[in-house]
Amino acid sequence: MKSVLFSLLLALPSFSNEWTPIFDGESLKGWTNGAGKAVEEGGWTAKDGVLSLDGKGGSIYSEKEYGDFEFRFEWKISKAGNSGVKYRVTKYGKQLLGPEYQVLDDADHPDGKNGGIRQTASLYDLLPADPEAKSLKPVGEWNTSVIIAKGNHLQHFLNGKKVIDITVGSDQWKEVHAKSKFKKQADFATNPKGRLMLQDHSDPVSYRKLAIKELP
């Protein structure tokens, strides 16, 4: 099963030999808890190429840290559900923080009513996804997302369209950071590398086809 899944992932037209799957389709190998310890199946389950959170399983983190990269994944959220993908996650005091690609049922989760900065594909609590480019599938259907981090340049894509484009440290960044929940972390998102994180927000969510290409 594992070898078949890897072959299918690497055979996708948009992928190259530089792409590395970071979910083997049948286990939580390569993922840890926040303390870096192996995660046993429980709240998170791996089956038929899908990584799902059905109960309370805690957020999970990639074993490896990534600096400059392109990360592709597919996801579907439950009704009124909330999750997210954080990247370049590192410690800020006792907290593990990083920029977040928001995953949400925009229509029925309360965060969806807090404006674009809390909705799907946003740079969470900082910058809303471009409403003219954003095309979101209905709850229960698979969405395709891409995160590109190159130096201080961050981009989010949703279903083939770029919806976030911002440079950490720019005037735009300083403006949105000053209004965000991360304003007390003056150096937020300035670290050059960190782990990936799939968020447990106590709602069912599923991910699949997680693959990453490290950029030179």
**Rounded Cα–Cα distance for residues 32 and 72 (Å):** 20
**What's the pLDDT band for 56 if we cut at 50, 70, 90?**
confident
Confidence check: pLDDT of 76 > 50: yes
Answer whether 0.85 is exceeded by the pTM.
Answer: yes
Cα pseudo-dihedral 147, 175, 84, 152, rounded to 10: 30
Average pLDDT over residues 112-116: 91
Count Cβ atoms below 10 Å from residue 82 Cβ, excluding itself: 22
Confidence check: pLDDT of 1 > 80: no
